Structure 1
Amino acid sequence: MNNTEACRIVGVGRGTGIRWRYGRTVKNPDGSSRQYAPIMASVQISERFLSEDERVSIADRRAAGCSIRGIAAELGRSPSTISREIQRNSDPATGKYHPFRAGQRARDRRARPKAGKLAADEVLRTFVQHCLHERWSPEQISNALPSAFPDQPAMRVCHETIYQALYSPHHLLLRAAPTRPLRSGRIRRKRRRRGDQRTTHFIQPGHSISRRPAEVADRSVPGHWEGDLVLGRFNKSAIGTLIERATRYVLLLHLPDGHNAAQVRDALITAFAALPGDFARTLTWDQGGEMGRHHEFTAATAVPVYFCQPGSPWQRGSNENLNGLLRQYFPKGTDLSTYNAEHLAQVAKQLNSRPRRCLGSSTPAQHLAKLIPTPR
């Protein structure tokens, strides 16, 4: 879950959650600073090492006045193990034993068994540095290693290993690498949300795509549409795109005044009002904010709207394919507000007159004519 939801469940503020996750720096009155590391998930490497729960028990029993031998007997450990744990991992300044700080000190002392491959192998590191100077991407470098060193299986690294080295500020790879070796210019990894962390911001929550009727998936019945927006220069203009799943029939929405939720709602109501009743059954959209008034569209047209899972545009693949075809007519970076409704109608007519292999080389217009002899 995201930071806000996790903090709400735990009962702490968002800022506290951020500090727990990423650590913080505190300025002391004398001008010095103290680093607080982020809270790390407890991972039990081996039963030979003390676990987080055992360290909490040690702190509790110490506070209760129990002896080291008593704590060892209760935990099933050797008294010398408990004694070494308290001596090594107590706070050097106060001498007090804090279980979570003790666990962090133990992890900090546990060094890697060997250096990373890029740090240990100078020949491999030099080759990667040379390729970075040639403006190669880490994936291109990784793919070129088998050809450059065909008889040396040890001279292999995956692209993620190179990325991790580039994002480490003191790695040996950076000593002879370009200042900003990646094409993106980033010097640290960009945080991204997982698909299950993305949430909608609709006032009225929509229906999930999993609740669509079964007839939508097999394209056996016409009248089920997929929709999206094609954005123009600086995302300031847009064209609404609609495609019917069974016939692949295309409709383009003219949005001359903008593409906020109200404007998209009105354009959809106008488009669906011109369709025959049996040809307007459902609409599937992504999680874009332009559908924030989907409930008002449904109330006006009786057409339910279903939404894809966050970060899953492939669930409305026909529309994604249509948007790719439209880039032939409206290249990226184009100001889409310069096109009028008549021009959009001509583009849609041309797409509907284009043979489609999925329709047996017939056109969407011909396929539609078989189903609805007299379309409006």
Structure 2
Amino acid sequence: MTSREQPTTQEAVRRIADGQRVKDVALDLGIHPSTIYLALKRHGLPVDKTAPHRVLNPQTNRHIPKNTEHPTTTEAVARVKRGERVKNVAKELGIHPSTIYLALKRHNLPVGKNAPHRVLNPQTNRHIPNTTERPATTEAVTRVNRGERVVTVAKELGLHPSTIYTAIKRREEATDTPTPPGKKGEGNHRCSDTPAPTTTTTQSRCTTTEVPDLSCCSNDSVSSRTADHVVADFSLVPDTRVKTGRGVRLSSTDRLVIAQGIKERLSTRQIGTKLGRHHSVIAREINRGSTTYLDPDTQEIKQLVYNPQTAHYHAQQQARRPKERKLDRPGRLRDVVVEYLLRYFSPKRVEQRLLLDYPDDKSMHISHEAIYQSLYVQGRGSLREIIEEELRQREMNTNKVLIRGGKTRRPRSKIAGLRNRRGWVVGAEITTRPPEADDRRVPGHWEGDLVIGAGGQSALLTLVERSSRFTLLKHLPDDHASSTVVGALQEMIASMPGKFSTITWDQGSEMASARKVIDPAECGIYFCDPHSPWQRPTNENTNGEIRRRFYPKGTDFREVTPEHVAWVQDELNDTPRLVLGAMTPYEKMNEVLTVATTQ
């Protein structure tokens, strides 16, 4: 069933019927000429020979070619008609034999049995095989027709059961006689010992449709998805069975059978047997195509009613391609996704954050894969162009729509844990750190490091809390000597009294005087093993995100203002983290502190 024709297309057809040119009308109304040609075909109006190749021929339902037949092909057809062999003609003229076979088919000339498999049989519209049937297959079909089981025959002859089924089906099509049904449960699910349904004629106001009569079936079992009073509308379009992949979609006639079966109170298994389909296909179709109705007496929603006409229409609408994606149309969802992506949130973070912010609004839910497709798969009008335009307006880097992932860390160093000559590390190794700092349940355990600027002249001090991923940044534009770094650490600890239990650092010399200045009772300082950055993974991941989102490698922090560093700190703490269940570090820190104070 097709959708109603657009008013613009109707206007175009009317103007073409009045004698105007298709090209002029299409340009005037802003539609494609192919749309007008197809509308002319639907209305039964003549189509010009100059129509594009996308227009279908009403008689053959095939595309109208742009070009006429090649002269070489015409000559080949003429020589084959005179009795020459296709193989010799193709070799002499330098064309492929399939080209000649297809031309013979177009001219309604007989095609030999040795035609390649790419040639279609005009009667069955199937490929003509270029090899004869194997003797083993012929023997297998003969034994199955005598009543033997397909599985047993296939095992004895070393064939696959599908080979036998295909051969049986091929003979059935060649003779136009149905295959005798086998025993119940054997082989092909289309074979059954249940009698075939007869047909009754149901008349409606517009059409007369033959509907299979299922009265021969018993009413022993009733599906849970049935209605007592089902009035099926049988005024449907002609049967259209569409092959998709390895299966076949339900046609309009199949849906008529389902509606009649529901009216007869048959189970999904009984209806599936009549249609030769699995019962789960029938159950899903009833579930998709059913609607609720109101009881006229109590005005309450009672049962599901299956309407085959409505179900077939919705099935066709669902099968239309290409489909409109969620982010194709303007709306609140696209605005929120664009805003998150402009903050360099990953699509996975966007997905999880939307689930957290809008738990009951399914219109605001979208998968990260759909976001990736909107960014990279679509062509004109894609989400990527919208984001790039926003980046230009905000004077940001348009080449960085999404940040890339971090690098994979190297295996553990072989010298990790060996005796170290750095005096400030002795006695403060990571192995001496309290065990509660490892499980991330207790807040107050931090990891720190420096992000060095261009030329090693400036730096950015970063501290990350292990349980909440809360981040503190300190701007060091002049130097990153030990006295400067330790002084900055003291200021950061003083800004959050009682929130620091331990700080884990690498063995850099900037922390040489930390244990002498910072009171161990106020905050313990611990150092990782040499070449072991994975011992402070939270800080390493945060530093990598700072590099990717805000300060690329080579940034001179002398040119960065403290206000911008403060903004970066707020942005990091307001970014949803997947490891926190899409919560932000701000929200997680408040939750952790609330739990800690109540215990």
Taking structure 2 as the reference length, the TM-score comes to: 0.29
Q: Give the structure with the larger helix fraction.
A: 1
Which structure carries more relative contact order (alpha carbon 8 Å, separation 6+)?
1
Larger Rg: 2
